[in-house]
Structure 1
Amino acid sequence: MVGTVQADRHQNTVHVVPEAGQKIARSVQDLNTVADAWHSLATTDLDSVTLEKDRIVGHLSGGEAHHFDMMRTRVLQQMRQNGWRRLAITSPTAGCGKSTVAVNLALSLRRQAEVRTVLLDCDLRRPSLARMLGIDGGMNLGACLRGDQEFAATARRIGPNLALAANREPALDAGEVFGGRYLPLALAAVDETFAPDVMIFDTPPMLLTHDLMSFAGHVDCVLLVAGAEMTTVKEIDLCERELATQTNVMGVVLNKCQHIGDGYGYDAYE
Structure 2
Amino acid sequence: MKVARLRLDRSGSQNNIGLTALDSAPAWTGLRALNSDPATMRRHRLYAESSDNDITRRFDLLRTLMADTIEEHGILRLGVTAPTRGSGTSFIAANLALAMARRPSSRVVLADMNLRRPGLARMFGANPPAPLSDVLTGGAPVSGHLRLFGNNLALLLNSKNVESSAEMLQEPATAHALREMRQQFLPTLEIYDLPPVLGRDDLLSFLPQLDGVVLVADGTRNTSQQVREAEDLLTGRTRLVAVVLNRGEVRRSVFEIIQGIRDRFFGGRDKEQV
Paired with 1:257 and 1:51, the residues of 2 have a C-alpha distance of 21
Q: Are positions 1:210 and 2:180 aligned together?
A: no
> Of 104, 108, 113, which residue of structure 1 is paired with 2:104?
113
Q: Are residues 1:128 and 2:113 paired?
A: no
Give the Å deviation of 1:46: 3.3
CA distances 1:42-90 after superposition (whole Å, capped 9, x unpaired): 1024322101211213533231210000111122221101111110000
Alignment equivalent of 1:66, drawn from 41, 52, 57: 57
- C-alpha distance 66-139 of structure 1, shift in aligned 2 (>3 A): farther
Equivalent position of 2:40 in the other structure: 50
Structure 2 equivalent of residue 141 of structure 1:
132
Matches within 5 A, 1:52-201: 52-64=42-54, 65-201=56-192
Find the aligned partners of 2:50 and 2:36 in 1 and give their Cα distance: 12
- Given that residues 102 and 200 in structure 1 are in contact (C-alpha distance below 8 angstroms), is that contact kept between their aligned partners in structure 2? yes
When residues 76 and 142 of structure 1 are mapped into structure 2, their CA distance, relative to the original with a 3 A threshold, is farther
Greater relative CO, 1 or 2 (CA 8 Å, sep 6+): 2
Unaligned runs of at least 5 residues, structure 2: 1-19, 250-274
Deviations 1:162-216 (A, max 9, x none): 1000112112221221111112211211111111111000000111321000111
CA separation in 2, counterparts of 1:193 and 1:97? 31
Letter in 1 for 2:42: E
How many equivalent residue pairs? 229
2:215 & 2:37 partners in 1: Cα distance?
28
Give the 3-state SS of the residue equivalent to 2:60 in structure 1. Answer: helix
Amino acid at match of 1:63: N
Partners in 2 of 1:37 and 1:60 — Cα distance? 27
Identity rate, percent: 34
Indicate the residue corresponding to 1:245 in structure 2. 236
Consecutive unaligned residues in structure 1, runs of 5 or more: 1-26, 259-270
Within 2, Cα distance between the matches of 1:234 and 1:59? 37
Deviation at 1:31, TM superposition (A): 4.5
Alpha-carbon shift at residue 136 of structure 1 (Å): 2.0
In angstroms, what is the RMSD of aligned CA positions?
2.0
Structure 1 stretches of 4+ moved >3 Å: none
C-alpha separation between the residues in 1 aligned to 2:210 and 2:39?
A: 33
The 1:185/1:191 distance shift into structure 2, 3 A limit, reads: same
TM-score using structure 1 length:
0.80
Structure 1 residue 40 corresponds to structure 2 residue 38: no
CA contact 2:128–2:157 (8 Å) conserved in 1: no
- Correspondence 1:230 to 2:213: no
TM-score by length of 2: 0.79
In structure 2, distance between residues paired with 1:209 and 1:226? 18
Aligned-partner Cα distance in 2 for 1:58–1:96: 22
Contact 1:205–1:212 (CA<8 Å) still a contact in 2? yes
